[in-house]
Amino acid sequence: MNKDCGIPLSKLQVDGKMTTNNLLMQMQADLCGIPVERSTMTDVRALGAAMVAGRAEGVAVWNLEEQAKQAIESDVFLPTTTDEERDSRYTKWKMAVERSLGWATTKKSVAMTVLILEHSGVLAISDERYRLLASIPASWFLITSFTMLVLSVELGRKQQN
């Protein structure tokens, strides 16, 4: 993070639904090597939007100087790993990423194709069969979605009666 923003961070302030997970917050502190500060207010974005709107020219219903004096309670997660352990884990993670590169393939699956004998005696992959089998998930999704829509409309009518 220091490389990305150019300013060393002394703490990481977090909010949002995922911050209710203590394990995730502790892992974040361990991975970053800095304290993670979680507000007791789960979603501070709404408060921030209200504060900015309240300070708009002509509105001025929010005094930020007064609010700054009132400390918002927060939980703080301190890093429990050493710099050496953190660097070691990061190095292992980078190695795992390197090993995983190239796993995705653009080749057609042999299981989804059939070899056909052309008139020249050369075996080739049937594109028609591949396209047919590859379209099944989309077709299945559309059919089941339409069926569920019809069922929900019918059940809604029965409940109204």
Arch. (CATH architecture) of 2-100: 2-Layer Sandwich (3.30)
Identify which of 23-27, 61-65, 125-129 has the greatest average pLDDT. Answer: 23-27
Q: Can you say whether the dihedral through the CA atoms of 25, 30, 32, 34 is positive or negative?
A: positive
Q: Render pLDDT for 15-47 as a digit per residue (tens, 0 to 9).
A: 888 888 999 999 999 999 999 999 887 777 777
- pLDDT at position 36, please? 95
Length of the chain equals 161
- pLDDT at position 28, please? 94
Nearest CA-CA partner of 133 in 117, 113, 118: 113
* 46-50 mean pLDDT: 78
Q: Would you say residue 77 has pLDDT above 90?
A: yes
The number of helices, as runs of H, and strands, as runs of E, in the chain is: 7, 5
